[in-house]
Amino acid sequence: MKKTIMTIITMPFTTLPIALITNDFYVGIVLSVLASYGMYMLWDAFFDEKKTESKGNC
């Protein structure tokens, strides 16, 4: 759930620069969706790393 919330929070910060750079609706949509997927994967790795740090290995 945290990953989804963080992805939604960061979407405007990735979509706005893409829209300003491309100036093309369809290319902007495709790149925004890909950026959202990439941000979700980034948050997934971030929260997964936090989870494994707290467990600790012997």
Query: What pLDDT, on the 0 to 100 scale, is given for residue 54?
Result: 60
**Assessment of whether the complete model's pTM goes beyond 0.85:** no
Query: What pLDDT, on the 0 to 100 scale, is given for residue 47?
Result: 86
Higher pLDDT, 37 or 2: 37
57 has a pLDDT exceeding 90: no
CA distance 24 to 47: 34
Q: 13-54, pLDDT tens digit by residue?
A: 888 888 889 988 899 899 999 999 999 999 899 888 766 666
**Which pairs from 11-16 meet CB under 8 Å and 24+ separation?**
11/36, 11/39, 14/39
Query: What pLDDT, on the 0 to 100 scale, is given for residue 19?
Result: 87
Residue 28's contacts (CB-CB under 8 Å, 6 or more residues apart) are 15, 18, 19, 22
